[in-house]
Structure 1
Amino acid sequence: MKPCTPLSHARPLWLRDARRELLLFGVFALLLLGLGLGLRDPWPSDEPRFALVAQWMVGHGQWLFPHRGHELYPDKPPVFMWLQALGYFLTGNWRIAFLLPSLAAALAALALVYDLTRRLWNHRSALLAAAALLVTIHFTYQMRNAQIDPLLLGWITLANYGLLRHLLLGPSWRWFAAGCFFAGVGVATKGVGVLALLMLLPYLVARRGHWRQLARPTGGWRWAGGLALFLVPILGWLLPMLLVAHADGDPQHAEYVQNILFGQTVHRYATPSGHIHSPFYFLGIIAADWLPLSLLLPWVLPAWWRRLKRRDARFLLPLGWIVLVLLFFSFSPGKRDVYILPALPMTVLALAPLLPGLLRRRGVRLAVFTLTTLLAGALTAAAALALHRHPAWAVKIEQSLDPQIWWMLLAIGAAGIVVVALTRVRRAPLGWLLFAGVLWSVYGLWGYPMLNGDRSARDVMVRARAIAGPDAGIGLLAWKEQNLLMAQGPVAEFGFLKPWPQQYADAVAWLQADPARRWIFSLDEAMGQCVDRHRAIHVGHANRREWWMFQAAAVAPGCVPGTSAEQDADEQP
């Protein structure tokens, strides 16, 4: 393998100096991914849950057993929430802290893809690869969210980087050990982090077939020692949790251990309860969510095949790993689009040396130009129609979202049309880059503050506190994580997973213990016919749900929603 060309001597892509290009790209990436940071609270579906768990950790000092309210939350290991808590310790601001792990993972993934591509090929291909990853819709959208999968992408990309530094550019046993270690960190974050180690399977194929561009390190004990490091972060989380659960004898902790080790891994993979899709589901995700990258596939697939026939291991290892990941998730009936997100950086790595030539092809430029034009035109037309004609679909959207959303979409679409007019087909890739910059920047700076009140439930929780007064207690009935997270002042909750009738009975008992100073904040459906809505107060609409508040005077005596007692109360005149 030829030595890596120093960046100071690398052939630049656009500017006169490669280092300036890299600095400019880094600033652009930080703005594209970070604009809007601090301007919104956590949004459903997953963000409020993880932020709530992290807040509980900080407030109660319980780091091994995550809690959602007073109930244990056994669905995910705590690493992501630990990092959110660390972000809070560093910034003192939850609005910033909850998004920091995803932002750090995104920037790290871009840096790793760039550096590995530069070492395997050159600076020009590396910079194009990092830019292609940054403006792929699936990457940008997901990495701006505070969910576990963006962090998992970061760990798996770091693990793959370490393994490929050893397998293609090595031997480098330190990088192999680092790759195994961070695969273990991925497991402690979300069980499927172990998929990073599948990179060893195409390596074995390449080694047996004497493929080119492949390192051939020797030393069996070093392989075993590196793989042993995979267990270090897993045991670092698992052993203290198991020891505490065994020592305190708490049945809830025992149930948590059973769920996190088996219910959320083997059982969830083999017999999922939701998100059931066909085995070909991820092909649609690649075609739509991986735009504009997926537009290149008609040209890329034959080029990949030619390089595989030349037995170039630089293509076999990442492409073989991607195929194994797709097969792994396709065999499970339960599928979500984010499952294959960690495969995106390796896809860009395998695509990287082809990008300089592909982007000079008129067919590729025309495809990217058409995509930018269609998206900008669709946003402009839909926004203009909504503002001037008020069709039924627009009115329905406005029931949940601020009507200013149309002005925001109109601004993005109009800016996109201007970009298309300036860049045309000749500079279509630059046009998409600029359009993506406008889209995500406007969304972060304008869309976040505009949508936050409804999506985060902040508005209804502020109004609930205004109704109850500053000192009254508010009990949450059939609540969502964002309600407890955004609650103002003293609150009580009666379980999250507990059935609504049981929550209602506990809430009413709590309410009647101090009827003058307590209120119930409830989802409309959870009240059934047991609450007189003429004596209740409609708080508002948030997250496509209606929310009410009531005191003891509005409660029908002896009635529990969803029981025969409710039916009897409903039949009375």
Structure 2
Amino acid sequence: MFLRSARAELIALLLFALVLLGIGIGLRDPWPSDEPRFALVARWMVEHGQWLFPHRGHELYPDKPPVFMWLQAFFYLIVRSWRVAFLLPSLLSGLMTLGLVYDLGRRLWNHRSGLLAAAALLLTIHFTYQFRNAQIDPLEVGWITLANYGLLRHLLLGPNWRWFAVGCFFAGVGVITKGVGVLALLMLAPFLFARWRGWRHLALPRGGWRWAGSLALFLVPILAWLVPMVLTAHLDGDPQHAAYVQNILFGQTVHRYATPTGHIHSPFYFLGIMATDWLPLALLLPWAIPAWWRRLKRRDARYLLPLGWWLLVLMFFSLSPGKRDVYILPALPMVALAMGPLLPGLLRKLGPRRALFGLTLLLASLLSVAAALAMTRHPHWAMQIERSLDPRIWRVLLAIGVSGLLAAALFRVRRAALGWAFFALALWSLYGLWGYPILNGDRSALDVMQRARQLAGPQVTLGLVAWKEQNLLMAQGPVAEFGFLRPWSQQYRAATHWLHADPSQRRLFMLQQAMGDCVDRAKATHIGHANRREWWLVPADALVPGCVPADGRDDD
């Protein structure tokens, strides 16, 4: 390696990871689609003390368990800044995941294998992109990787019953975070096969009661959340709480897996995701798969368990009709772990180095050419993009592209891996430090909410109709809302009654699509554009008497 000691190299990698995953934190607010929703729920927890039953405004939010929002609220109580707090769970989960992959690689093979496995994971586009966002999936990846770490410490490096217990416990934490933490326990399937067939590098722990006791710890975090929630819903008699329990336990788990209503894709969907989102790691698979196969034929369980688990996870998610790219993300750390010991040899081969160099050159060239054309020729596709993005973003993309071309020229084929690392550093640094401030006003709805407050005045209460989570989250001054999931017509009826009760001190903040013919636009004020939507400020005299707009749909 490059530094004098293994510790120095690990510290250097973690500092590099801190930059890649953390640069730009504090420079933007939550962005749709999911970030404003979770931050809004977390803020409601802090402001109203509703920790057990999450709320999106005044409505319950039953789509996800509350663990991720708990952490966001916890970090807010420490740092007192939502711009920082909402991204900290993903950042810390990413650093933890990298550290776990490194330590497993070091223990299973050696320091170099662990370090390269963690570096390959960090520099994979899917990992870096997702862990820079405030969604539940990065945290879920962290819990599942921690569970896998505990299981592998026991199954390959054990017996180590403490780590096995830790693994089972955090698989349960993964369940109350997003439901799929139980997938970590699928690691037992390739272990049992390897034990049956007498594979090498396999621990042979004995003790039936210890297996049962450790596996029982899987239920501890689940019951710690489930029992108080169910008891509270039963004792308070609130039908909304009862509906919440039913939805969170069945509607968002079993029914969502078996009969999803959206994101329907073919059984081969994740193959395309891994081929593209897992770049540049995916480029090495044509060389890695034969190498893995040779080691599997030698019955090396150190490869069978992580790779077998990857295939089981892939099969599990492929069987469901509903698929999203992030579903397969928990498998990525185990694939990088199995790739680690191969990387020293692969990076000496000309083919993998040419592939890495070609990827850097291709992406940098595409960004540079596209940005230059958009800035000089203004083609139709660029004008379409600029309807939802600030045109200044082309300068950022041009700078990123030129940085990639510079990396390709400096490092060339011989040191193509370093060239990709330099390109990734430039990409995420420029995007975080320069791109975030440019895009934030529109993407977070901050600009349109500030504009609405300026037009309405400091004391006027804004009633939100057909709103999105970012509108309530970024609202300035006093606001009212009439439900999020309620049909637009019902929101409109409630809002008009509310508006007429005090027309001088109230205005409606409305989505243009929801206004229909029930608002006289000559008397209303167009506030602006945000998140590909148009928003209006509507006084009482702009409402058409007796008119109720038809229910619409906004899928974004």
Q: What TM-score bracket applies, with the shorter chain setting the length?
A: over 0.9
Q: Where does structure 2 lack aligned partners over 5 or more consecutive residues?
A: 552-556
Whole-angstrom CA distance in 1 between matches of 2:247 and 2:394: 44
Which of 380, 391, 408 aligns to 1:392? It is 380
For 1:142-541, what aligned pairs fall within 5 Å after superposition? 142-541=130-529
Letter of the aligned partner of 2:423 in structure 1? F
Whole-angstrom CA distance in 1 between matches of 2:5 and 2:154: 30
Deviation readout 1:523-560 (Å, 9 max, x if unpaired): 00101000001111001010001111111100000100
Shift of 1:471: 0.4
Deviation readout 1:184-232 (Å, 9 max, x if unpaired): 0000101111100000011000000110000000000000000010000
Deviation readout 1:272-292 (Å, 9 max, x if unpaired): 010000000000000000000
Whole-angstrom CA distance in 1 between matches of 2:339 and 2:119: 12
Letter of the aligned partner of 1:402 in structure 2? D
Whole-angstrom CA distance in 1 between matches of 2:143 and 2:387: 40
Identical positions, percent: 75
Whole-angstrom CA distance in 1 between matches of 2:509 and 2:503: 14
Which of 75, 82, 92 aligns to 1:87? It is 75
Match of 2:394, SS state, is helix
Whole-angstrom CA distance in 1 between matches of 2:184 and 2:227: 23
Whole-angstrom CA distance in 2 between matches of 1:477 and 1:44: 18
Letter of the aligned partner of 1:379 in structure 2? L
Letter of the aligned partner of 2:415 in structure 1? R
Shift of 1:25: 1.1
Whole-angstrom CA distance in 1 between matches of 2:54 and 2:412: 52
State the match for 2:108 in structure 1.
Answer: 120
State the match for 1:548 in structure 2.
Answer: 536
Whole-angstrom CA distance in 2 between matches of 1:18 and 1:329: 38
Whole-angstrom CA distance in 2 between matches of 1:349 and 1:25: 16
Shift of 1:404: 0.8
Which of 33, 46, 51 aligns to 1:45? It is 33
Shift of 1:22: 1.3
Letter of the aligned partner of 1:173 in structure 2? W
Shift of 1:125: 1.2
Q: Under a length normalisation based on structure 1, what TM-score does the superposition of the two structures give?
A: 0.96
Letter of the aligned partner of 1:317 in structure 2? L
Which of 52, 55, 59 aligns to 2:43? It is 55
Whole-angstrom CA distance in 1 between matches of 2:119 and 2:179: 29
Letter of the aligned partner of 1:404 in structure 2? R
Letter of the aligned partner of 1:146 in structure 2? A
Match of 1:546, SS state, is strand
Whole-angstrom CA distance in 2 between matches of 1:218 and 1:400: 60
Whole-angstrom CA distance in 1 between matches of 2:312 and 2:370: 40
Match of 2:202, SS state, is coil
Shift of 1:72: 0.3
The more displaced of 282-291 and 399-408 is: 399-408
Letter of the aligned partner of 1:446 in structure 2? W
Whole-angstrom CA distance in 2 between matches of 1:27 and 1:332: 39
Letter of the aligned partner of 2:480 in structure 1? A
Q: Between Structure 1 and Structure 2, how many residues are aligned? A: 551
Match of 2:21, SS state, is helix
Whole-angstrom CA distance in 1 between matches of 2:480 and 2:290: 61
Which of 6, 10, 14 aligns to 1:22? It is 10
Match of 1:342, SS state, is helix
Shift of 1:16: 2.4
State the match for 2:554 in structure 1.
Answer: none
Shift of 1:403: 1.0
Letter of the aligned partner of 1:283 in structure 2? L
Q: Would you say 1:558 and 2:550 are equivalent positions?
A: no
Shift of 1:23: 1.3
Whole-angstrom CA distance in 2 between matches of 1:440 and 1:42: 17
Shift of 1:401: 1.1
Whole-angstrom CA distance in 1 between matches of 2:192 and 2:540: 70
Letter of the aligned partner of 1:106 in structure 2? G
Letter of the aligned partner of 1:229 in structure 2? L
Whole-angstrom CA distance in 2 between matches of 1:371 and 1:405: 22
Match of 1:475, SS state, is strand
Shift of 1:413: 0.6
Match of 2:508, SS state, is strand
Whole-angstrom CA distance in 2 between matches of 1:118 and 1:325: 24
